[in-house]
Amino acid sequence: MNMLLLAAITTLVNPEPLDLTGPLQMVVTPANTVTIIEEHTMNAPNISMINWGVGFGTCPTDDSQTLTDLEISAYNTRYNVQKVTDSYGGEFWMLYAPVNNQTSKSLTIRYKATLKLNKRQLVAGSPKQTPELSDRRKWLQTPEKNDIYATQSWMRSAELVREKDERDVVFADRLLKAIQTDFRYKFIANGERGVPGCVRNGFGACGELNALVVDALRLSGIPARTRQGRNAHVSTPFGPEDVNSYHVTAEFWGEGIGWIPIEASAAGNNTNEKGVELRPFLGIANGDHVSKHYNFAYLDGNARSFQNQDWVFGSWQGSWDGWKVVGQYGVSVTPISNR
C-alpha cells in the first residue's frame, strides 16, 4: 500500500475582516488550469499477483474545481475506471488490471488529471440564488468515538458552545480563534497522528487541525468536510509555500451562502517548544489546491488516516516481504487570470 504523509505548512494571510452578521455570499472566479501526473511502480518480488486493483481519489467537481480530463493507465494501456462511494462519503476511481507473465510481480500505474481551479471568496452581499445542500446528513456524520471524546473534551475546556440561534459562520469564526489560542502547528514524521493526539499534545499538522475543525463543526450541527489533496501553486497572496506537497484543508456549509473555505493550519512566524503559531482564517481559497477527495480514509474501521488515499489491492500467492513502491509526482499550472 502506498501511503504518503501529509506534512504541509500553509503560510497564509487573513483576508479583510467582514461583518459576519450581515448578508454574505461566495464569489467564484476562474484561477488556474492544472494538470497533475502521478506514476507509481509497485514491486513485490516474493509474490505472484493473480489480479491487480488500484483506487484513486476522484478529484470531485464542485465550486472549487472542475475535472476536465482523466487518464488512469497500467502497462501503458489506458483503462476504464468505475466510480465507487464508501460509507463515509468518499468517492474513488477503481481500476482493475489483468495480470500476465511479465506483470505478476510488478505494476506501474499512471494517473493523469486535468482540472480547472477556482478562487472562492466570502464577501458582503446576497447571492442571486439561495444554495441548497441536498446531502446534509453525509456531512453531519460524527467521527469515531475517540475523536468525539477528544473534540468534546477540548470544546468544554475552551468553553466553546454554539449559542442558540448563533449563525454558523459566526460560530466558525469563534472556533478558529479558540484553536489559535490553544494549538500550534507541528508535524512530526512517524509521530502520533489524529485528533486525540492533537488535543492531548496541543499541536498538530494540517490533517489534525482541520479535522478538529470539522469534528467541532459537525458536533455543533454544522455540515463540514475536509478536502484532501495537493498544493498546486505558490505565487499567490494566500497560496501555500510548498508546491506539490500534500495538504488537508476544510470547508463548512453556511446556510444561505454555500460551502465556505476554512483553514486552521495556516502558520505564522513565531515558534516555541510546541510548534509554530497559528493564523487560521475562513472565507478564502485561492485556487491553489487540488482536492483528490473529501474526508479521510478509515483504513481499519477505527482510526482515520491522515495520508494520501491511493491504494493497491488484488489477489495473490506468496509473501509480501520485499514489497516496495517507487513513485513520482508532477504538476503544471497555467494561470487563467491575474488575481
- What is the DSSP secondary structure assignment for residue 163, as one 8-state letter? P
Q: Is residue 76 part of a domain?
A: yes
Q: E strands within 125-155?
A: none
Distance CA 256, CA 262 (A): 17
Q: What is the pLDDT of residue 260?
A: 98
Helix, strand, coil % over all residues of the chain, rounded to 5 = 15, 45, 40
Q: What is the pLDDT of residue 238?
A: 29
In 10 A of CB 216, how many CB atoms?
Answer: 26
More confident residue, 244 or 18: 18
List, as one string, the DSSP characters of 81-142: -EEEE-TTS-EEEEEEEE--TTTSSEEEEEEEEEEEEEEEEEEES--SS----TTGGGGG--
Q: What is the pLDDT of residue 326?
A: 61
Residue 15 φ then ψ, to 5°: -70, 170
**241: left (phi > 0), else alpha (psi -120 to 50), else beta?**
alpha
Q: What is the pLDDT of residue 16?
A: 63
Q: Is residue 215 part of a domain?
A: yes
Q: Is residue 242 part of a domain?
A: yes
More confident residue, 269 or 330: 269
Domain count across the chain: 1
Q: What is the dihedral of CA 122, 212, 228, 170, to 10 degrees?
A: -10
Cell numbers that stand for 312 in this block: 493497491
Whether the per-residue pLDDT at 90 is higher than 50: the answer is: yes
Q: Where does the pLDDT of residue 1 fall: very low under 50, low under 70, confident under 90, or very high at 90 and above?
A: very low
Which pLDDT tens digit goes with each residue over 63-78? 999 999 988 887 777 7
Which pLDDT tens digit goes with each residue over 44-64? 677 676 666 677 778 889 999
Q: What is the pLDDT of residue 100?
A: 66
Q: Is residue 10 part of a domain?
A: no
The whole-number average pLDDT for the span 210-232 is 92
Cα 95-101-103 angle, rounded to 5 deg: 40
Q: Is residue 339 part of a domain?
A: no
Boundaries of domain holding 88? 24-318
Q: Is residue 329 part of a domain?
A: no
Q: What is the pLDDT of residue 292?
A: 84
Q: What is the pLDDT of residue 160?
A: 97
Q: Is residue 328 part of a domain?
A: no
Q: Which of 27, 2, 7, 66 is nearest to 230 (CA)?
A: 7
The whole-number average pLDDT for the span 270-298 is 83
Q: What is the pLDDT of residue 167?
A: 98
Q: Is residue 324 part of a domain?
A: no
